[in-house]
Copies of this chain bind each other. A is one copy, B any other.
């Protein structure tokens, strides 16, 4: 999940549980008896899909295929050969299922490669400080940058400080995690703001509520008007250690050595179409991103989202369930370095944007599904809320309103397309996010089965309804 998405995450506040907060008569009036009846007529096909995934031939398939994939490729950073190999693998895996409507679309992506990274505390005592450089960070000189630390809890504190006190120092941001969308600003903008005040490097407390001495990487962007400085994340434990030393009046001197390379490569978005029977030009999109950070396996971010989106056309093909509209699976590329794949798709397909009936993405974990986070008109939300009622038996009936759900799809949704991201039991998502701990150990076969079944059935029903999702 990219930091851009996070800006919207804080908006996840209004929960419409089984339409409890959308006054029932309002939705009932908006939809009318006929449409409600039509939606409930999908209960049987929903049960067919759920049975096939939860008890039938597809049981554990999502977990098994995901684990084979991430075990084979590991991390799949933007611009790397392994990412392209993994795209080829997914295409071949899909073809083996008898699905041939597959297209890739090339685009330019950032290729930032982490080299050696090391922070040594020199004063008040010698100690190694674990770190992960932030995406796009420049290198230090080979001997590193040796400087004194100055700590800030917030940008307000930084802005209030004298430039003379910051110049030549290493700024350490030590904000306590509140919600990702707020706290991530220190990771994404910290280097630029520190540089503007004369700092020679910046470090940020990892953006997580919990740590086992776990640094978290992530993207950051240099403003155009500043001198880029090296920047990295450190663990909660070392941020707290440095804070305690600092508050005791101790002078803290660090040597930071970081190296990396940057160039531009070609990657691909992958589009898999399960063609509609009546309006094949109309699309219901399900998606996840195939790239990952360069640590861990990218199993959670976003292997899970990738595979439940892969599973939708595969399952519908196996069950011979054709919807009226086309269900398009998209594997976005280069999400982590700036939603690059999504921007390219939006640009390339802008003139057919009116054909996107609904767009879905899973990029906040594939823990037990709870429902959807939905953007769209009141009427659109009423339709989705009614469809979600069909999933009360697997506890996935919640509708959360958000004008900008998802990460990649937010790029499309802001052009006026209705859409939704997977709402799931992801309370621990940020424990693993962008770390070496993003592995298969986060994933559960049972939860992935629930997510797969839910995702496939919802997409099918929306794609098959007699009416378009209104804008």
Contacts and interface: CB of A to CB of B under 8 A. Distances in A.
Interface of A: 67-68, 71-74, 124-125, 127, 130, 211-214, 236-237, 240-241, 244-245, 248, 296-297, 431-432, 435-437, 439-441
Nearest to A126: B74
8 closest pairs, A vs B, by CB? Answer: A213-B436, A212-B437, A212-B212, A213-B437, A237-B439, A212-B214, A237-B441, A71-B244
B240 A441 contact: yes
Contacts of A130: 436
B212 A244 contact: no
Nearest to A240: B441
A73 B214 CA distance: 21
Most chain B beta-carbon neighbours within 10 Å: one of A213, A297, A435, A437:
A213
B436 A71 contact: no
A211 B436 CA distance: 11
B240 A125 contact: no
A120 to B, nearest CB: 13
B212 A435 contact: yes
A439 B213 contact: yes
A255 to B, nearest CB: 17
Given A440-B240, A441-B240, A212 B431 contact: yes
24 contacts: A67-B244, A68-B248, A71-B244, A71-B245, A72-B124, A73-B125, A74-B127, A130-B436, A212-B212, A212-B432, A212-B435, A212-B436, A212-B437, A213-B296, A213-B436, A213-B437, A236-B441, A237-B437, A237-B439, A237-B440, A240-B439, A240-B440, A241-B297, A241-B440
Given A236-B441, A240-B441, A125 B212 contact: no
A125 B213 contact: no
Contacts of A440: 237, 240-241, 244
A175 to B, nearest CB: 16
| Most-contacted residue by chain B among A67, A68, A214, A439 (CB, 10 A) | A439
Nearest to A127: B74
A307 to B, nearest CB: 16
Contact of A439 (B74, B124, B241, B441): B241
Contacts of A297: 241
Contact of A241 (B71, B124, B125, B211): B71
Given A211-B212, A240-B439, A241-B297, 15 more contacts: A68-B248, A71-B241, A71-B244, A72-B125, A73-B125, A74-B127, A211-B441, A212-B212, A212-B431, A212-B432, A213-B296, A236-B441, A237-B439, A237-B440, A241-B440
A441 to B, nearest CB: 5
B437 A211 contact: yes
A149 to B, nearest CB: 14
Nearest to A214: B212
B74 A125 contact: yes
A234 to B, nearest CB: 12
Contacts of A73: 125
Contacts of A441: 211, 236-237, 240
Contacts of A67: 244
Contacts of A71: 241, 244-245
A212 B236 CA distance: 13
A271 to B, nearest CB: 28
A439 B243 CA distance: 14
A441 B235 CA distance: 11
Contact of A435 (B213, B244, B435): B213
Contacts of A237: 436-437, 439-441
A237 B127 CA distance: 27
Contacts of A213: 214, 296, 435-437, 439
A258 to B, nearest CB: 18
A429 to B, nearest CB: 13
A437 B71 CA distance: 26
Nearest to A439: B237
Contacts of A72: 124-125
A174 to B, nearest CB: 13
Nearest to A70: B241
Contacts of A240: 439-441
Contacts of A431: 212
A365 to B, nearest CB: 15
A117 B127 CA distance: 17
Which of A236, A237, A297, A432 has the largest number of chain B CB atoms within 10 A?
A: A237
